[in-house]
Amino acid sequence: MSAASGAHAPPSARRVVRHRLIVAAFVLGAGTVFGFAPFYLFFVTVLTLAALLAMLDGEHAWSAARLGFAWGLGFFLFGVSWVYVSLHDFGAMPAPLAALATLLFCAFLALFPALAAYVHARLALDPGAKFMLIFPATWTLLEWTRGWLFTGFPWLGAGYSQIPLSPLAGYAPVIGIYGVTLATAASAGILAHLWRSYRQKQRVSLMFAAAALAIWLAGWGLKAVEWTEPAGEPVTVSLLQGNVPQDLKFREDRLQKTLEDYRALALSSASRLIVFPETALPLFLEHVPQAYLSELAAHARRNGGDLLIGVPERLRDGRYYNTVVSMGSSPAQRYRKLHLVPFGEFIPLRPLLGGIVGALAIPLQDFTRGPEYPQPLEVAGQRIAVNVCYEDAFGEEIIRQLPQATLLVNVSNVAWFGRSIAPQQHLQISQARALETGRYMLRATNTGVTAVIDTRGQVVNAAPEFTQVALTAHVPGYAGATPYVRWGNLAALALCAFLLVCGWTCGRRKRD
Active site residues: 278, 337, 389
211, with CB counted inside 10 A (0-12, 13-18, 19+), is: middle
Nearest to 267 by CA among 238, 234, 287: 238
Question: Cα dist. 118→56, 57, 183, 210, 496 in Å?
Answer: 9, 11, 21, 28, 18
What is the rounded CA–CA span in Å between residue 87 and residue 95? 9
**Could you tell me which residues come within 8 angstroms of residue 217 by beta carbon, excluding any fewer than 6 positions away?**
167
- How many residues are given for the chain? 512
Name the strand (E) or helix (H) holding 501: helix 490-511
Query: Taking Cα atoms as reference points, which of 58, 81, 114, 64 lies closest to residue 425?
Result: 81
The whole-angstrom separation of Cα 487 and Cα 478 is: 19
Helix 95-122 vs helix 42-56: crossing angle, to nearest 10: 60
Beta 334-336 vs 320-328: how paired, if at all? antiparallel
Assign 246 to helix, strand or coil: helix
* 78 to 64, 110, 460: CA distances (angstroms): 21, 12, 28
CB 426 within 8 A of CB 160: no
How would you classify the pairing of strands 451-453 and 407-412? unpaired
Residue 247 corresponds to which amino acid?
A: D
Q: Following DSSP, what letter does each residue of 386-416 receive, concatenated?
A: EEEGGGGG-HHHHGGGTTT-SEEEEEE-GGG
Residue 343 DSSP one-character state: T
- Residue 444 CA to residue 60 CA, distance in Å, equals 49
Question: How far is 312 from 318, CA to CA, in rounded Å?
Answer: 12
For residue 310, how many other CB atoms are within 10 A of its CB? 28
Q: Which helix (H) or strand (E) holds 324?
A: strand 320-328
Q: What are the backbone angles phi and psi of residue 492, rounded to the nearest 5°? A: -65, -40
